[in-house]
Amino acid sequence: MGGYRYIKKILCSSDGNPLSATQIEKYQIIDRLKFEYPVVRICRVLNVNRRSYYKWCKIGKPLANNYKQEIADVISEEHKNVKGIYGTIRLKKHIENKSNIVLNHKLIRRYKHILGLETVKRTKKGLSVSKAKEKNLINKAPYLVECNFNSDVPNQKFSSDVSYIKCKDGTLYLSAIKDYFNTEIVSFSTSNYNNIDLIKESYKNVRPEKGTIINTDQGAVYFAYEYVELANKMEFTRSMSHRGRCWENCPIENWFMQLKHEWLCQFDKLTRKEAEKEIKKYVHWYNNERIQKKLGYLSPVQYRLKYS
């Protein structure tokens, strides 16, 4: 009867069927149960060669066949550095760019599985963007971009909008401007209020050339006379998406979603000051380090320096 109990204990020692487990997984089961039952008995139940188990112990109990700790360390460290945001392919390119180490994407995927490294999942929850209230339709501008989100040179076309972040002590508004050329966030600003002062502050670091197009949605602030005056003073051309067509300004909308689902979602509700700090960190990381497939696995700044 006692023999039956230990066999049952061994067979119930993992979530799946231990008899169909990999060799390494069987070694790990033996390692867990060796203080309760003789190793020879466990090996017999699991159909494992006892010498093979002891050899596995002698070489440091690797988590997989051909397991190399130095590779595991690189993958684990870089996964941590990018805060789990990159999937397998982009992590592979990131490691190549940073460490000049070429690893097969299947190898990286296997090590991530072994090490329990998970990529941040984006939720399906929609992005909340500020809504327009009162508008002066006299200042309405045509949609000049026409869903062409490409640009051959910097400062030719920008995408701009305002989003908000719910914080412990109230709402924080964020205005940002994105260059179509390399997807770089060229300027941004935060405020406790969604008004023209927020827009003016966020445009301070923008250096548009005469005729540069800045596309926005039809938010009330972009109909304001102060915004029209700002456009005239800075000599950029205003463009507005059609009402109810958020995809017509998707470059900046997508970036807001990335900010929230790649970075801010890692925290419980922040205070406004804390959120401001994290937004600054993300913008710097996004512009200088976050590689993108469409940019040839370069960051926006790297792409601009290389091709402009």
User: Quick one: pLDDT at residue 281?
Assistant: 96
What are the boundaries of each domain within the chain?
Answer: 2-58, 69-115, 137-307
For every one of its 308 residues, what pLDDT tens digit does the chain have, with 9 covering 90 and above? Answer: 445 556 666 666 555 566 667 777 788 888 888 888 888 888 888 888 888 888 888 877 776 666 677 888 888 888 888 878 888 899 989 888 888 888 888 888 877 776 667 787 665 444 333 333 344 566 788 999 988 898 999 999 999 999 999 999 999 999 999 999 999 999 999 999 998 899 999 999 898 888 899 999 988 889 888 898 999 999 999 999 988 888 889 999 999 999 999 999 888 889 999 999 999 999 999 999 999 999 999 999 999 999 87
pTM as predicted: 0.66
CB proximity list for 280: less than 8 A, separation 6 or greater: none
**Phi, psi (rounded to 5 degrees) for 239:** -140, 140
User: Quick one: pLDDT at residue 63?
Assistant: 66
Q: What sign results for the dihedral spanned by CA atoms 217, 220, 222, 228? A: positive
Nearest to 27 by CA among 47, 12, 3: 47
User: Quick one: pLDDT at residue 127?
Assistant: 37
User: Quick one: pLDDT at residue 110?
Assistant: 79
Judge contact between 225 and 136, C-beta under 8 A.
yes
User: Quick one: pLDDT at residue 129?
Assistant: 36
Task: Scan for tokens 């699991």, then name that residue.
Answer: 46
Rg (CA), the chain: 27
CA angle centred on 67, ends 61 and 69, rounded to 5°: 85
The CATH number corresponding to 137-307 among 3.40.50.720, 3.30.420.10, 3.40.190.10, 3.40.140.80 equals: 3.30.420.10
Nearest to 289 by CA among 280, 281, 300: 300
β strands within 168-304, DSSP E: 170-179, 185-191, 213-216, 237-240
User: Quick one: pLDDT at residue 68?
Assistant: 74
User: Quick one: pLDDT at residue 122?
Assistant: 62
Judge contact between 198 and 173, C-beta under 8 A.
yes
Task: Scan for tokens 């590779």, then name that residue.
Answer: 71
Cα–chain-centroid distance for residue 1? 55
Q: Please, which residues bridge with residue 170 across strands?
A: 167
